[in-house]
Amino acid sequence: MFCVAALDGPLTVSFKVRDDEFDDLSSAPGLKPAPYVARYKWVLVEDVNSLSRSEWTHYVKQSYELVKAKLPKKLARQHGLS
């Protein structure tokens, strides 16, 4: 899991960010630390328009890479990710 969207109610999205980005992003307008997973450096985007299209592309791809890098080697190989 590298990106989660809540589709019921207003659209919100959570994703993992780098440690050095977490404080700035989680305090930016429209974003906050993600409930339950903020300790793992996940942010919650409450206003999806607060990020540009290029920022969305960057952060979702980065989140995928961060999560993929933490997978156990065996699991990564099983899924063709190594």
Q: What is the pLDDT of residues 2-51, one digit of tens each?
A: 999 998 989 999 999 999 999 999 999 999 999 999 999 999 999 999 99
Indicate the pTM of the whole model: 0.91
Looking at the structure of the chain, the number of domains it has is 1
Q: Which domain holds residue 40?
A: 3-78
Q: What angle do CA 17, 19, 77 make, to 5 degrees?
A: 60
Average pLDDT estimate for 51-70: 97
Q: Are 71 and 81 in contact (CB under 8 A)?
A: yes
Q: How many CB atoms lie within 10 A of CB 43?
A: 25
Q: Which helix (H) or strand (E) holds 24?
A: helix 19-26
**pLDDT range class, residue 76, cuts 50, 70, 90:** confident
